[in-house]
A and B are shown apart, each in its own frame.
Chain A
Amino acid sequence: MTTARPSTKASNTAPTADTRIAMYRLLVELRYFEKRAYDLFLQNLVKGTSHLSLGQEAIAAAFGVAMRPGDHTFATYRGHAHTLARGVPMGPVLAELLGRENGLMAGKGGSMHLTSVEHGMMGSYAIIGAHLPIACGSAWSAQYRGTDEVSVAFFGDGTTNIGAFHEALNFAKIWDLPVVFVCENNLYMEYTAIKDVTAVEHPAADRAAAYGLEKIIVDGNDPDAMHEVATAALDRARAGGGPSLIEATTYRHGGHSRADPAKYRPEAEVQEWLARDPLPMYRARLIADGVAEKELVAIEEATAKAVDEATEFAKAGAAPGEDLLLKDVWSDGGWTWRN
């Protein structure tokens, strides 16, 4: 069993200094971006729903840095962070949230379906569990075509109780597919504590044995520990070692969605986890390890500016035109069902 442990300089798989800076940069970007997204909800510029991963960014940041071009990401409707972590620029993502023509999918998908194939972001899926079998498919394709691409599916703890999760794990194992399943266990499915509705203590890791997989639990708020576990799983898949299932423990700072004030969570629990916020924690660790604070401040300032620019880009976008309404049902670009 792999358990959470902070990386140390003694570990030969510990992330390099450059990797750690790259992770910090992503942590800051994901945090600043989603805070801005939240502000824009409050201004009613983002319609519909949206699911933030504030507090959970270390998982996306670590994988974003550890994955290679050509690898495939499959995320849930809580997918802003995973999209940005693959290098998708903030402007089009924010514009998509605002339903603008300059959005990542021209406003046709929205917050829950962020996709950028050119960045290996193969989609955000809003039906619980669906993307795990789909990630098996892209992994099968990579295996068939003889490439070393790895597919990674991120999902919440609630996903571990739906059938597709179990079908996908078994399928991935019997076909030795290069796929990594990452459960972001934030302790609550939506409004209900996962422990109240799950037969085992660790909703993903305790199921691993049933599929012949190693039990892996990691501190999802620790970028270094996350990176180490992510790299090991990616390397294993790339080398033909088959699938992995990782349970990363974390906590969302806000509610399940825009509509949820998260009053069901005990205040002491919230405070305990806020004290373990990955962003200030990692910042302090980097400085303690000798990184100059001014280097981190420069990242923070540049990111704040980039978020402002992305906001201006998004706000300047026009509403999608009627030409988009009937476009791209079929590969010929159209929607015709009769002659």
Chain B
Amino acid sequence: MAELTYREAIARGIAQEMRRDENVVFLGEDVAAAGGVFKGTVGLLEEFGPKRVRDTPISEQAILGAAMGAAMTGLRPVAEIMFSDFFAVCWDIVVNEIAKSRYMTNGQVSFPLVIRSGNGGGLRFGAQHSQSVESWAMAVPGLKVVVPSSPVDVVGLLAASIRDPDPVIFLEAKALYSTKGEVPEGDIHDELGKAKVLRRGDDATLVALGSMVPRAMKAAEQLATTGIDCTVVDVRSLVPLDTQTLLEEIGRTGRLFTVEENPRLCGWGGELVSIVGEEIFYDLDGAPVRITTPHIPLPAADALEDMAIPSVERIAERVQKAMQE
């Protein structure tokens, strides 16, 4: 068992799959010689060479178009979009081409590809390099959407995404790149569509994703000292969504709190609340509460950004208040 950072886990996961399958190739801006602007892909060029690990120009449509064309002709590309905000300049390839073509062609083509991207705030990069776009991707039929919250999940879910026969948007929480965690030796292969219960308590269920998972865990520890015992579920995969685990864990406590980094409107928590309302309404003991970033672009200044994104304190306060109502 070794301790790896979240960023080191990315290279570990990609390398594991590249060793296993020679059809796995990797491309993106500054990913090869430079090892990625977040140093998430250090060492891949050295191990696998320039034929399989390729630097591209700043051409996001070309990157994703190349990944799509390669995937439909036998390769399993992993493409990097450096910041998820940049999906906006290549969203056509994702939404109109990759996501729709299997359906439109009556199943003639498949797209076994992964698009990795640094997502979300916390690094004081300002509004165009800090956005949480998971709800964009979740809204598109034909895309799987995965967001790991720990190094071991980065490796396991990346492996599962690369082996999956369908396109996966793999969103890495930028705020977590420097966090550490134990990662076992050997092949790690997780499963898409499985939420993970990180902590069990009987009073309330906190459902969190990506960078919000460690914060929800810390908030739960604080709440425990005040006598509120929380369950924390890491969603991990928005599509497919593990509603089985989520509904079971929410129904068991009767209280739902979503913890979302995305701006309020149409965040994944809204969909979860609607499923809960339709299917286990009578198991609830109180109104579901969504704890999100306000519906604003993210500000750059650390003081402002910290006010915007749900903090441990805000999560704990909000849960405590709702539980007392």
Contact = CB atoms under 8 A, between A and B. Distances in A.
Query: Are both chains from one complex?
Result: yes
Contact of A329 (B97, B102, B242): B102
A324 interface: yes
A164 B106 contact: no
A171 B56 contact: yes
A339 B248 CA distance: 12
A138 B69 contact: yes
B105 A105 contact: yes
Interface stretch (A17-25, A140-148, A256-264, A305-313): A140-148
Q: Quick one: which of A72, A135, A142, A328 has the most chain B CB within 10 A?
A: A328
Interface stretch (A48-56, A107-115, A224-232): A107-115
Contacts of B62: 133, 136, 164, 167-168, 170-171
Interface in B238-271: 239-244
Contact of B75 (A125, A141, A174, A333): A141
A243 interface: no
Interface string B136-171: 000001100000000000000000000001100000
Given A106-B106, A329-B142, A333-B107, A133 B69 contact: yes
A132 interface: yes
B66 A133 contact: yes
B70 A140 contact: yes
Interface of A: 72, 105-106, 108-109, 113, 115-117, 122-123, 125, 127, 129-142, 144-145, 151, 163-164, 167-168, 170-171, 174-175, 324, 327-333, 335-339
B92 A127 contact: yes
Contact of B68 (A134, A167, A171, A337): A134
B108 interface: yes
A140 B76 CA distance: 12
Contacts of B142: 329-330
A57 B18 CA distance: 44
Q: Quick one: which of A136, A170, A327 has the most chain B CB within 10 A?
A: A136
A312 to B, nearest CB: 22
Contact of A142 (B73, B104, B242): B73
Nearest to B60: A167
A141 B74 contact: yes
A331 B106 CA distance: 11
B72 interface: yes
A241 to B, nearest CB: 19
Q: Quick one: which of B67, B108, B193, B275 has the most chain A CB within 10 A?
A: B108
B69 A141 contact: yes
Interface residues of B, number: 48
Nearest to A128: B92
A331 B93 contact: no
Nearest to A328: B107
Given A133-B65, A167-B62, A108 B106 contact: yes
Contacts of B97: 125, 127, 130-131, 134
A121 B106 CA distance: 14
Given A130-B96, A136-B66, A140-B66, A116 B108 contact: yes
Nearest to A126: B96
A141 B239 contact: no
Nearest to B101: A123
Given A130-B97, A167-B59, A337-B241, A151 B69 contact: yes
The 8 closest A-B CB pairs, nearest first, are A137-B69, A133-B65, A331-B165, A328-B107, A167-B59, A138-B69, A137-B66, A167-B62
20 contacts: A115-B105, A115-B109, A117-B109, A122-B72, A127-B92, A130-B65, A130-B93, A133-B61, A137-B72, A139-B69, A164-B61, A164-B92, A167-B59, A167-B61, A167-B62, A170-B57, A171-B59, A329-B103, A333-B107, A335-B141
Nearest to A139: B69
A105 B107 CA distance: 8
A243 to B, nearest CB: 13
B51 interface: yes
Given A123-B101, A338-B240, A339-B193, A137 B65 contact: yes
Contacts of A108: 103-106
A331 to B, nearest CB: 4
B71 interface: yes
